[in-house]
Structure 1
């Protein structure tokens, strides 16, 4: 398996991994002593850190308390530390999955300070029964500690830190919110703060080098807001300057902590406009308006007399702030601006004049002016492979020729670009998340055990992580929402002065999703995962409005979101039709009935006994069978011949056994195992080269017969000519005759033609493809269509059917390289004679980011677990610049699992991860079992 294949699998597993449970086990109030010996200050309500000191010469159980700035505050009283130390030791060694949070509940005296400790179970994928067992064990560990109180959930009288803070305050009622309620509250949050965000925007004109586009008012405001966040950075709004112990400090209202150093300024933002509102063009305008010092995208301008005049670059704000007062007055005087006032007044006046256009480079002394090359020139755009074509297309369409140098960091020779980038010859560099993650693994290796810090490789080679970029842009930024993935770790390693995250879905299925974006931007203190959990995640989960209030303040500071409803633009009409297609009494129906019937009988037997736990132990096997059912709704030929025979034979056995005989749970499990078949690999897995780690077209792929490892032709030929002829993976010897083209291997693996002919004769054209061909007849002659499916094998069948009736088409799926996707999309969007009328698209490879507005019909050939994925696909044609009425047809097989998937979508009972995701306690288990019964049409009482 290639490195990128392995990374892709890891990312999928990590994406499916749920967050830690964070269930409160118990709490207690303790004492900090010795505070008069330390300079650290801890305020009421402040978060503090516990640090074990096992080598302390006075007490081997010593536990030090540090404030958020890392200053020592004191130690836990020795008699109390003796019971707490074993807990912290077990936690730090990883043997006990418990997190201990410390908060100062109120002021103390000159000698002691109270500290309130909360103990949380942090084990992932844990059931309520397991949490109770941990709570019982934990209570035994703390039996000598009369301050510890087990949580009310487990029969105790413990309280939470937020309740402790309100002991002397007003009564507070709390109500837990489900995700749909949270999502609605968060979306409303954006609408309410929009008016304030539009205040004090810089008065700048849009780039003069744009062509062929007129920006909407909301887009102009968006560009100005993005520009303001870059040229006027500031700490997060939680920080205020106060006087403490006679000196100025910065006080954080979230952690209730103070620090002498100014918090890091956030130079960047999140643009999370709803899909289809032009986030890309706003970003392009930002790139053009805010180049690095010394770089002018329009090098010359025409003066009044008609001659060309060179533009002189202006210095950055930091250079202006460091200038002497007399220098500042000379600058202002040269521009006929007011020169009186204190130094800060002069600085503010000059910076404002820069933004307003009242100052130019010629007003600054030459020593202050930047030179080309003083800073990195390049903006790095990280995006999914499927989106790269959209960026190149938009820059080509909307920016004057020759203004921006755009390059793609992709393929086996991508590092050859590094010198060109470092020398300042590239303005925009495009790279996929997958390629960046692969390079991260090559440079940093695997994470070291017990730490999240990567291990540097011994051999240091130049890489993309050595470059200082002017700006990094993350498109489809929710891709990094899981902080455990290499996607997240890779973008965090990029060096960039300015940062922008673009996503239409900042919250995918929980408020925690935004943490990785705040971490990417460096928004203190919420870039710290522990603080984010304590300050926002936990209060929101507990129904405490304080969590949403803090998140609202943070998102108002760092993000901008407009919906299609509040931008006051008129979109073309969109007609979404649910087309119910009936099974004929044919082979397709026979295969579907056999697969569905056997699975339903097996699951009825399993669910009839116990609480359904046994069924969930086999959820991956169940999910695989649901996948086969969905494929059978598309075409019976998508199920392998061997699998069809197994299902048909088993179904005949079940029917002949008589409906009166009830299977036991054990028999049901046996039947489930028998149905497993020979499924061992994802049939949609894409070939990738094991040397250059990039995706391959089928025509470029080769396989070594000796060891079955896969490489592209170019790479393996280089190995053959230059090396000792050993496989780069396993070091097995190979000869030229061992190299087999992928196309040759695929041909050899195909079924005999007689079998294919038998399938065609037996099954005929699948019902939904028949319905598609009928719908196409309703299209006007100048209209084009986009056909989506999540199964590439189904796209094969659709393509054959289109060819048979004479329709021209192109196709995009995960096997198509980035450069070729660009050409395919351009061909489809063209009005040239002979351009393809249809484009076949893999749902995951083409469902986001690309622009297909030349098409105004979309055909959704199968259902996805999450309706949002389908909606994103529809937005490839229903977006700005679409001039024709849009028609969407969703094909669903009648009386099938597809109808029940749609019903579950409409009821919003599916989370973004689909019906069978990993568990999050009893409530999630019950919801999952309910969905499973609904999908298989099993009585909920069974």
Structure 2
């Protein structure tokens, strides 16, 4: 069931079959979608339907609308769906009559066990008969969900939790690796045309080029489709048709970071251009091109990656052989015909997200030969505006390119299915019933389907298997003992937190003070890094109240939240789980993206997603833009004029850098931090120690970032030896192989982000052994974060597979208690 952006719905890993209802699909004469046999259906909630606010529309396997669920059943289901108490799956049942105006189906209802009574009560007040597992009619179900989930599923001893059956990324791609080893996955290696690509591809890149081109030109049936006696059958959904399904041209290019995916994709564009040109010369292009179609490739990426594409084009292609247009910032043309002149159009997710509600933009008017989503994990939240924007684009070939296709759990793959338009997996209810639910419950069918799916449409190799000659990467942890003054302040703050945790003796009350909890954690982490970043008066503001406050009546609290946002670069919007854009603060002191919270408030019973307090659009406050554009000079002055307090971590870092310089004066290093203020704070002591520095952070535009990277990559000894880099701004798509040392000033909640940052240095082009040092404060929250990282690396928890439950700054409530030592 498609739902809205609800951050704290019941985790799907903890939902079980409560029962099912019989229903009719009506209005079928008005829609073109057809269904056959006992087909699995897609159900999509449509709360803004002008005729029925409870509407639930029905789709077939090919995402064509069949009709609607009849009103009586929809009115009983809609409130439960809107409250995220249940999710549903449906299957057609055999027809007992020949009524051509309605189709009978069964709707299976899944809920958290604690919500079973609420589900029963909802149906007791309606005319719809709810069939639970204790009802004799339960055996009449035709759903695989029922066949797989008998009454013993509800025995607490037999319930399988996601944590006990979690699967890591390598397990999901196990079948991919096996196929690769048997040479059935990758087609014959190809070389790109030397007239365009001037660089020699490595063997693994030639194999990838062969596979990419094969995927684009395939005539094979999509996965899970079979031809039977002249008909085509989807073996998962039982849908049958006499029309051959269109092949899925494209897929997921998931090679590990640092394997040269950008060069491989440029080679694909060049090879395809050569083949098209050759075909025209031989007179094989007999089909007239549709007016809106273009032979161009649209590449969508984060702003920091645009400079990498430009650099790679300059380094690997012959000048003038590929025409490139930057559809970004002020250079956006309004003329679609202008874009048709180019082989490559580069743009950003944010650019397309901003154009989401504009129907006549040039990018939307064209039918692209291919779309490439670089750093495709950016769209892991399928409901975000930029995700919806790229999913809606028109293209013959679609590629999702990312070294980390799964960051939080297997549910991350659903957004990629939506972008690829891979039916029926691009519909959430189908993904849930065919993959997610059996996977969450530890059933082999879920893992098997996911492996077959990934084996057919994805390519993933790691540096260990693809690059035998790459210098090794050594990761060390340097534990730092906090000074007496640092430890004293740390313990004081922790005691305040314990008091607050005792006051909020329930998880719901703790979530209601989300901003306070977030601030506490932020300050603890800053003390571990360098407590010069912590405002001297922060405790008086932070712990002024333990109850929900109205920021409109408390300007000091509003300013505290604004300052917290300035300090905490790693803060995510709790709805989209991404860095917030166009930030708003609610009257109940919670922080969201404007677009995310406005979508949430469109519901009839609008409330804050965190504390459930009634909330309206008039109770949202914009964070002043100038608050987030603090001048570097002002910040540096603030740090310099503050009380001078020594930092153990800064002293340790300078000692390590000095030792490295003494061993080899030409060694370049990258120092990563999540706090921009930390980067600014490091500049003076490093300068005093005789080091030249550059800085790369999220306040810089694409051009400024490119200039910094280019300057750092220069090999002269007198060039800057140390790059001070924001972890989030530098974790994707940039090349820093001039360095051979990496220092991480703090641990990050998500280990995938750290891995991405490390692989900016340890990648193709690196000639030296790479040493990575993580600075960790002993007996602190940082050690607990490391433990959480290891747990996340080893598992894709089923909580992560769906939506994170009670998520606070990237953690669940149980994780919050863990990192605080409670």
- The CA distance in 1 between the partners of 2:749 and 2:476, in whole Å, is 18
Aligned partner of 1:759 in structure 2 is 642
Alignment pair present for 1:27 and 2:54 = no
Structure 2 Cα separation of the partners of residues 595 and 573 of structure 1: 41
- The equivalent of 1:278 in structure 2 is 260
* Residue in 2 that maps onto 1:117: 106
SS in structure 2 of the partner of residue 388 of structure 1: helix
SS in 2 for 1:577: strand
1:896 aligns with 2:783: no
The match for 1:264 among 246, 261, 276 is 246
In structure 1, the residue matched to 2:387 is 488
For 1:807-829, what per-residue CA distance to the aligned partner results, in whole angstroms no more than 9, with x for missing partners?
A: 22221111111112112111111
Cα pair 2:325 2:346 within 8 Å, conserved = yes
Q: Encode CA deviations 1:857-890: one digit per residue, 9 max, x unaligned.
A: 0010112112222122111111222111111111
Q: Of 482, 486, 499, which residue of structure 2 is paired with 1:601?
A: 499
1:748-802: CA deviations, max 9, x gaps?
9779x7x866535x314x2211111111122211110011001000000111222
Please state how far the C-alpha of 1:685 moved relative to its aligned partner. Answer: 8.6
Q: Secondary structure at the match of 1:783?
A: coil
**1:411 aligned residue:** 329
1:230 to 216, 223, 235: 216
| SS of 1:845 mapped into structure 2 | helix
- Residue 393 of structure 1: how far off its partner (Å): 1.4
Unaligned runs of 5+ in 2: 46-53, 570-624
* 1:138 equivalenced with 2:147 (yes/no): no
Determine helix, strand or coil for the equivalent of 1:933. Answer: helix
Q: Post-superposition shift, 1:143?
A: 7.7
**What's the CA shift string for 1:243-283, capped at 9, x where partnerless?**
4xxxx432111110112333232221210011222211111
Match of 1:788 in 2: 672
Give the drift of 1:386: 1.4
CA deviation map 1:473-513 (0-9, x unaligned) = 10110111221011111112333232211011222222222
1:207 to 193, 203, 224: 193
Quick one: distance in 1 between partners of 2:785 and 2:44? 50
- SS at structure 2 position matched to 1:777: helix
Of stretches 510-519 and 781-790 in structure 1, the one that deviates more from structure 2 is 510-519
Asked if 1 retains the 8 angstrom alpha-carbon contact of 2:667 and 2:740, the reply is: yes
1:870 and 2:754 correspond: yes
Distance of aligned partners of 1:601 and 1:106 in 2 relative to their CA distance in 1, 3 Å threshold:
same
Corresponding position of 1:772: 653
1:288-307 matches, within 5 Å, as 288-291=270-273
Match of 1:102 among 77, 86, 90: 90
Aligned to 2:577: none
SS across alignment from 1:412: helix
Structure 1 Cα separation of the partners of residues 799 and 20 of structure 2: 39
Partner of 2:783: helix, strand, or coil?
A: helix
Using the TM superposition, give the Cα deviation of residue 399 of structure 1 relative to its aligned residue in structure 2, in angstroms: 1.6
CA drift of 1:631 comes to 1.2
Alignment of 1:541-620 (within 5 A): 541-567=440-466, 569-586=468-485, 588-603=486-501, 605-606=502-503, 609=505, 611-620=506-515
Matched, 1:934 2:815: no
Paired residue secondary structure (1:510): coil
Aligned to 2:356: 440
Cα distance in 1 for residues equivalent to 2:58 and 2:531: 65
Query: 1:314 is matched with which residue?
Result: 279
Q: Supply the distance in 2 between the matched residues of 1:104 and 1:479 (Cα, whole angstroms).
A: 36
Q: How does 1:364-403 map to 2 (within 5 A)?
A: 364=283, 368=286, 376-403=294-321
Secondary structure of the corresponding residue to residue 499 of structure 2: helix
* Structure 1 residues not aligned, in runs of 5+: 1-12, 53-60, 296-312, 316-360, 445-459, 651-665, 687-739
Q: Give the match's secondary structure for 2:414.
A: helix
**Distance in 2 between residues matched to 1:51 and 1:901, nearest whole Å:** 38
Give me the whole-angstrom Cα distance separating, in 2, the residues matched to 1:74 and 1:782: 69
2:10–2:805 CA contact under 8 A, matched in 1: no
Distance 1:158 1:253 in 2: 22
Per-residue CA deviations over 1:203-241 (Å, capped at 9, x if unaligned) read 643331466743232221111000111122444122223
Aligned-pair CA distance for 1:558: 1.2
TM-score (norm 2): 0.77
Distance 2:98 2:334 in 1: 64
1:294-345 Cα deviation digits (max 9, x unpaired):
65xxxxxxxxxxxxxxxxx314xxxxxxxxxxxxxxxxxxxxxxxxxxxxxx
User: For the structure 1 residues 241 and 463, does the alpha-carbon distance in structure 2 shift closer, same or farther, using more than 3 Å as the test?
Assistant: same
Which residue of 843, 846, 851 maps to 2:735?
851
TM-score (norm 1): 0.68
Q: What is the RMSD computed on CA atoms of the aligned residues?
A: 4.8
| 8 A Cα contact 1:294 1:371, kept in partner | no
Greater Cα radius of gyration, structure 1 or 2: 1
Deviation at 1:536, TM superposition (A): 1.4
Residues 1:578 and 1:230: Cα distance change in structure 2 (over 3 Å): same
Q: Distance in 1 between matches of 2:721 and 2:351?
A: 32
SS in 2 for 1:763: coil
**Contact 1:176 / 1:542 at 8 angstroms: preserved in 2?**
yes
> For the residues of structure 2 that align with 1:763 and 1:800, how far apart are their CA atoms?
14
In the alignment, the residues of structure 1 paired with residue 736 and residue 238 of structure 2 have an alpha-carbon distance, to the nearest angstrom, of: 50
Task: Determine the C-alpha separation between the residues in 2 that align with 1:631 and 1:923.
Answer: 21
Partner of 1:354: none
Secondary structure of 2:333's match?
A: helix
Distance verdict in 2 for CA 1:787–1:277, change over 3 Å? same
In the alignment of these two chains, the number of paired residues is 732
Q: Matched residues in 1 for 2:344 and 2:67: separation?
A: 51
Judged with a 3 Å threshold, the aligned counterparts in structure 2 of structure 1 residues 929 and 495 are, in CA distance, closer, same or farther, namely closer
Contact 2:192–2:267, Cα closer than 8 Å, also in 1: yes
- What is the Cα deviation at residue 82 of structure 1? 9.7
Residues 1:680 and 2:561 are matched in the alignment: yes
8 Å CA contact 1:27, 1:159 repeated in 2: no
Question: Which residue of structure 2 lines up, in the alignment, with residue 825 of structure 1?
Answer: 709
Larger relative contact order (CA 8 Å, sep ≥ 6): 2
